[in-house]
Structures are given as C-alpha cells and as structure tokens.
C-alpha cells in the first residue's frame, strides 16, 4: 500500500501546484513510483490524457514530473467555468453535463467524490507515493462542509499534509495561524509542517516566526522556497495577464471565457504580449483570438463591445490575425452551435473561409501535423486539440498525420489573407515555427531577425525541482511518510 502526501495551501495561488510538481519529480528521481492526484480541479487550462480524455493542465504537468503518461485517474473531476455561475463537469475525462454552482454543491458533488476516492484508493494500491494537491484554502468557513478537495481527501487517504503559504504576498504567518486555528484537532494532526514559498531576502529573519509556529503547533517549518523565475505554466485562477509591447505589438484578446492561455507563453518570452479587452486598444501588428470555453458567447461579447469591428479594421490596415481553437471558429464565416450556447447559426467574423458545426462529442487528442501555409510550408509541428467544433475550410492550415500515435490524413484549420486559424493548441511551442513566423513579421517592419530561445517543460521541471530539493527538508518528509 502506497503513502499519501498532500499539499494544501493557505489560499489560492499559494504554490500548491508547483510544490506538488516539484515533489513528484524529486521522489521520482529518488527511485520511487510516484503519481499525482487532485480529486477536483476548477480550471479552463486543460490537456488531453493518454486515454483520450481531458484533465487539468496542472495534473498533466505533474504527471510529466513523475515521468508518467497523463491519466484521467490523476484528476477525476474537472470543472470548466462557463459563466453565469455554471460549469461544465468533466468526470474521468468526459463531459457529463453543465450545472449551476448550487446544483453541483447539493447534488452531484457527493456522488462524484465517492467515485474519486475509489480512484485514489486504486492509485495507492499500485504506487509508492501519491502526491495529492488540494484546492484553494481548506478552511473556507462557508464551503468547508461541502469541500471535497482538501481535508476530506486527506482523512480518507490518511495523508500527511504540508501547508504552503505565499510569503511574497505578505501576511503568511497570520494565514498559517488562521488556517491552523480553523482546522479541527483531527485535521491538525494530519499536518506535518509548513513551507514558505516565493521568498525574497534573508531567510534568517523569519526565525522568530518559525519558532512561534513550532512552539504553538508542534509542527516543523520544512523550508523556504526562494522566489524563482521559471517557464512552467501556472494555474489560471489568479493569473495576472501581462501587458508588454515588444518590438512587435502582439495583442491577445482576453475573452471572458479564455482557455488554454498557456499557448502564448513562447510569444511572451520571445517578444512580449499585450492582453486587451477594449475596442480602442486594438492596433497591434499581430492580433490573436485565443481558445474559449464558450465560443459563441465570447464572439457575441466581442461584437457587442466593438472588438470585432476593431479587429476587422486593424486587419484592413495590415495587422496579421490568428485564431486558436475557439478563436479559429470565430474567424470563420459561420458557426452552428446547438450544443454549447444553443444559439443555432451565428455569423462569424469572416476573415477565414471556414464553417464550424458543434458536435456532442469532444475531441481530446495529441496531434502531429504538417503545415500547409505557404511561408512555413512543410514544417512538422506538434500540439493538442480539445474541441467540440468540427470545421471545414477551402484552404486548410495543416494536415494532421498523427492522432495519439495513430497515422491519419486530416486537414485542419484555415488560411486567409494575412490570417490563419488552427485547432493546434501549443502551436507556438514549436520554436522553429514561432521563430520563422515572428521573423516574417519583423522583416515587414524592417526589424532585425531574432533567434527564439528554445526551452522545454522537462528542463524547467528539473530545474525548479532542484530549487525545491535544496530548500526543504526532504529527508524529514520521507521519514514522516515512513
């Protein structure tokens, strides 16, 4: 029977996901058979699993840290917010319906929790260590009785709990004390110690606070993780979207239901990106409409706020326009949606000669493709798709030649005049494509060509894990886990 180690936080954004990821890699490097787990995650950043299902990107990355293929078992319940206090519920990788927050809390949650715990039991039977990630804070008074992602999970698995806090925000000692005081005695017993995350400065100055915590609760301060720059995608709940104007002015429309914004991280590092929400802001060299959890509603939002007209005008004046997934669908001539928004036929922006019809089944696959778009024709790229739309176009962007390892020959995307759309999430993580595309735009502006720095998630995981390994007491953690 394996051991369960749980990472809980004093708040959202405290560093649970990254600490769990680092511990997954540290224990894996030590020779243990490790897997991640999160009973319920709310996120619009998702990724395909090995089974063809959909899981949170956080657990996807944690699986890579364990050197495991990402599985639906690592994130049984995924909630994808749709707006108006409703979420799509994805269970074991497949959508099972759309519910309001109240309906979910009072009806479906308990049933799904029991099934999720069966999955956790199976993981504990098969592996040495299960690193479990909590959600938000474990002591939100109004939600604690309904919480299925924190202490109920810890008690079920008899997990040892590490409580992490973000000291960069300030108030970290108060947040740890407040959390501990609101835990029951039984729950306090499960806490093995505390980790302070994102610290800048001299850690010795924290000693009086450490002494207080250890004296009051009899719990060890396991370590202090320094503030570390990295390229590992963050969870999306508290992301502060950057506004950086580089040599090229790259603008991304921050849709109300924006999803998989990690697509644009290579552009952020190579040039800088500017997220926009108003029509008067639209004036970039490159304008990108990203993926969306609710494509039609976000298209209508752009239309009502003048953003659609502003994009069309900018395009007439020479801006290059790209749509990724839902953004691609919006750029087409029409969308027929009787599934997600149930609005039937809706006129698209019309920059691409494409038509999209929503289907009941969601495609969640890893893809390999060959670009057909002339400036980089013949380039092989990789990515993934998560979509319910099925699109046809007169002039496809690429040919998919591999889906989850199986050979195929399937056109996707669309190319127009100074515009293209694609279903390939992660297209810009193909650094050769990104470098050639950016340099095409730079040449038009009489700018010198650049070399896009290549980096990999694997290297970033290893580098961050090493920082954590040097910063916290791994031997003590393993001792407590027995």
For the segment 131-186, what is each residue's pLDDT rounded down to a tens digit? Answer: 999 999 999 988 888 889 999 999 999 999 999 999 988 899 999 999 999 999 99
Q: Which of 66, 325, 366, 429 is catalytic?
A: 325
pLDDT at 437: 98
Asked if 57 and 262 touch (Cβ cutoff 8 Å), the reply is: yes
Least confident of 14-23, 82-91, 184-193, 248-257: 82-91
pLDDT at 203: 84
What contacts 41, CB < 8 A, 6 or more positions away?
A: 56, 58, 59, 75, 77, 78, 79, 133, 135, 149
Q: Which of 127, 249, 315, 425 is catalytic?
A: 425
Residue 384 has pLDDT above 80, yes or no: yes
pLDDT at 238: 46
pLDDT at 101: 79
pLDDT at 235: 66
Q: CA separation (Å) from 471 to 207, 228, 475?
A: 15, 12, 12
pLDDT at 380: 98
For the segment 302-330, what is each residue's pLDDT rounded down to a tens digit? Answer: 999 999 999 999 999 999 999 999 999 99
Residue 34, beta-bridge partner list: 129
**Which pairs count as long-range contacts for 446-454, CB under 8 Å and 24+ apart, including other chains?**
447/247, 447/248, 450/270, 450/271, 452/266, 452/270, 453/269, 453/270
> How much of the chain, in percent, has pLDDT values that exceed 90?
83
Residue 239 has pLDDT above 90, yes or no: no
Residue 236 has pLDDT above 80, yes or no: no
Provide the pLDDT confidence category of residue 83 given band limits of 50, 70 and 90: confident
366 is catalytic: no
For the segment 99-134, what is each residue's pLDDT rounded down to a tens digit? Answer: 887 888 777 788 999 999 999 999 999 999 999 999
pLDDT at 237: 47
Asked if 87 and 101 touch (Cβ cutoff 8 Å), the reply is: yes
425 is catalytic: yes
pLDDT, average across residues 329-356: 96
pLDDT at 100: 85
- How high does pLDDT run on average in the chain? 94
Say which residue, 341 or 415, is predicted with more confidence.
415
Least confident of 28-42, 73-87, 282-296, 355-369: 73-87
Residue 423 has pLDDT above 70, yes or no: yes
Q: How far apart are alpha carbons 212 and 190 in whole angstroms?
A: 19
Asked if 350 and 308 touch (Cβ cutoff 8 Å), the reply is: no
pLDDT, average across residues 401-417: 96
pLDDT, average across residues 419-441: 97
Residue 109's CB is within 10 A of a number of other CB atoms, namely: 18
């Amino acid at each position: 029977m394996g051991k369960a180690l749980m990472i809980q936080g004093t708040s959202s954004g405290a560093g649970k996901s990254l600490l769990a990821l680092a511990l997954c890699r540290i224990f894996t490097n030590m020779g243990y058979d490790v897997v991640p787990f999160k009973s319920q995650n709310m996120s619009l950043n998702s990724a395909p699993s090995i089974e063809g299902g959909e899981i949170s990107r956080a657990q996807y990355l944690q699986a890579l840290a364990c050197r495991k293929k990402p599985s639906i078992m690592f994130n049984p319940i995924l909630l994808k917010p749709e707006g108006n206090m409703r979420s799509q519920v994805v269970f074991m990788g497949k959508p099972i319906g759309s519910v309001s927050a109240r309906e979910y809390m009072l009806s479906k949650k308990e049933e799904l929790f029991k099934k999720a715990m069966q999955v956790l039991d199976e993981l504990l039977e098969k592996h040495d260590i299960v690193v479990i990630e909590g959600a938000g804070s474990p002591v939100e008074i109004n939600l604690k009785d309904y919480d299925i992602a924190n202490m109920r999970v810890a008690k079920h698995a008899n997990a040892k709990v590490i409580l992490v806090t973000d000291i960069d925000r300030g108030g970290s000692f108060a947040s740890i004390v407040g959390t501990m005081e609101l835990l029951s005695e039984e729950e306090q017993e499960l806490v093995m110690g505390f980790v302070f995350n994102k610290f800048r400065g001299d850690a010795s100055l924290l000693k009086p606070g450490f002494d207080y915590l250890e004296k009051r609760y009899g719990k060890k301060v396991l370590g202090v993780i320094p503030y570390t720059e990295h390229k590992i995608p963050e969870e999306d709940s508290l992301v502060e979207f950057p506004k950086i104007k580089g040599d090229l002015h790259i603008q991304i429309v921050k849709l109300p239901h924006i999803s998989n914004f990690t697509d644009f991280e290579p552009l952020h590092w190579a040039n800088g990106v500017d997220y926009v929400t108003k029509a008067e802001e639209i004036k970039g060299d490159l304008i990108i409409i990203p993926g969306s959890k609710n494509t039609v509603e976000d298209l209508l939002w752009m239309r009502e706020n003048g953003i659609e007209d502003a994009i069309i005008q900018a395009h007439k004046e020479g801006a290059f326009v790209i749509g990724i997934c839902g953004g691609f669908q919006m750029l087409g001539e029409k969308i027929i949606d009787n599934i997600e928004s149930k609005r039937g036929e809706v006129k698209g922006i019309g920059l691409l000669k494409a038509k999209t019809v929503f289907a009941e089944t969601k495609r969640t696959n890893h893809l390999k493709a060959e670009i057909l778009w002339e400036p980089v024709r013949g380039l092989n790229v990789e990515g993934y798709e998560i979509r319910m739309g099925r699109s046809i176009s007169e002039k496809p962007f690429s040919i998919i030649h591999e889906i989850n390892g199986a050979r195929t020959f399937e056109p996707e995307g669309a190319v127009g005049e100074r515009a293209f759309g694609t279903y390939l999430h992660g297209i810009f993580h193909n650094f050769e494509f990104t470098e050639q595309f950016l340099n095409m735009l730079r040449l038009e502006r009489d700018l010198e060509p650049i070399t896009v720095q290549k980096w990999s998630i694997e290297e970033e995981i290893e580098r961050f894990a090493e920082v954590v390994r040097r910063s916290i007491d791994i031997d003590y953690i393993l001792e407590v886990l027995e």
